Amino acid sequence: MTEMTIDKEDAATDGLAVRISGLRKAFGAKTVLSGIDLEIRRGEFFALLGPSGTGKTTLLRILAGLELPDAGTVLAARRRTTVYQEPRLIPARRVLANVILGLPAAAREAGRRALAEVGLEGYGRAWPATLSGGEAQRVALARALVRDPEVLLLDEPFAALDALTRLQMQELVAELCARHRPAVVLVTHDVDEAVRLADRVVVLREGTLAVDQTIDLPHPRDRNSAPFVDYRRLFLSHLGVVPASH
Ligand SMILES: Nc1ncnc2c1ncn2[C@@H]1O[C@H](COP(=O)(O)OP(=O)(O)O)[C@@H](O)[C@H]1O
Ligand SMILES: [Mg+2]
């Protein structure tokens, strides 16, 4: 996958973590993505918003190098890692072993630090089955963090959590990303989540990118503030949902 790599020294991709141009992807007769052009800067928190079945996961899988496009070019920084909706832990391995899976044993200390960063200090010897859903997802975050990603790919990572845990996890991800500054590609169907977290939101609709909006609000963001409400209305309308007036 060397042809996919963006090098930091390359003047043509200066400051970019992702560059996609003319991307097309079809499964059989069904075109899922077409004519996608997208650049994401290093350190940018980018959200891709779209209803289910629009190709968000397909785009992430292409960025992860797990799927090949039918046309177009996809360049991305070398160190990329994904967090999925499910934590995907190996049940027969303890938490720390899951965090450093595939890394040399020397990564144990970094693994412990990553666990502490996600609020799971001392959980290294626990078994995955003893964790709550939120804790398991924190382990998945630690597993991503320890790889020091240049691009962090998040595929609806909060969707399976209860509402309160989801808010706590969003806060944690915001804090970790502000500290480590990877480029983030957050895929979500949750408008408020995108507006709360992202520097920039793009709507994926019918295979193309429908709107590209910078979210210029300080953190933490108040869902009830007038600009937040305006962004929510903008994205809902692009998603084809007309918010009820009240
Ligand atoms: N490997 C595959 N083979 C055939 N169809 C697929 C495959 N992966 C995804 N699709 C189809 O592509 C469309 C987009 O899927 P996906 O990227 O998972 O959407 P999203 O993540 O936005 O819900 C769906 O219609 C899905 O059924
Ligand atoms: Mg998906």
Which residue has tokens 């992702």?
18
148-195 tens-digit pLDDT? 999 999 999 999 999 999 999 999 999 999 999 999 999 999 999 999
pTM: 0.95
Residue 243: the pLDDT is 67
Angstrom CA distances, 175 to 70, 114, 151, 178, 223, stand at 37, 13, 16, 5, 18
Atom of ligand 1 nearest to the CA of 67: 1
| Residue 56 CB–ligand 1 contact under 6 Å | yes
Atom of ligand 1 nearest to the CA of 61: 17
Residue 242: the pLDDT is 75
| Residue 52 CB–ligand 1 contact under 6 Å | yes
Residue stretches of the chain with pLDDT short of 70 = 1-3, 243-246
| Residue 55 CB–ligand 1 contact under 6 Å | yes
CATH of domain 2-79+149-238: 3.40.50.300
| Residue 174 CB–ligand 1 contact under 6 Å | no
* Residue nearest atom 16 in ligand 1 by C-alpha distance: 55
Residue 241: the pLDDT is 87
Residue 2: the pLDDT is 38
* Best CA proximity match to 241, nearest among 201, 193, 190, 199: 190
* Residue nearest atom 1 in ligand 1 by C-alpha distance: 27
Determine the Cα–Cα distance for residues 154 and 187; give it in Å rounded to an integer: 6
Domain boundaries, the chain: 2-79+149-238, 89-148
Residue 1: the pLDDT is 39
* Best CA proximity match to 151, nearest among 112, 171, 177: 177
Centre of ligand 2 to C-alpha 155, Å, is 7
| Residue 58 CB–ligand 1 contact under 6 Å | yes
Question: What would the DSSP string read from start to end of the chain?
Answer: -GGGEEPTT-GGGTTEEEEEEEEEEEETTEEEEEEEEEEEETT-EEEEE--TTSSHHHHHHHHHTSS--SEEEEEEES-EEEE-SS----TTS-HHHHHTTTS-GGGHHHHHHHHHHTT-TT-TT--GGGS-HHHHHHHHHHHHHTT--SEEEEESTTTTS-HHHHHHHHHHHHHHHHHH--EEEEEES-HHHHHHH-SEEEEEETTEEEEEEE---PSSPPTTSHHHHHHHHHHHHHTT--PPP-
| Residue 224 CB–ligand 1 contact under 6 Å | no
Residues 70, 25: contact at Cβ < 8 Å? yes
| Residue 188 CB–ligand 1 contact under 6 Å | no
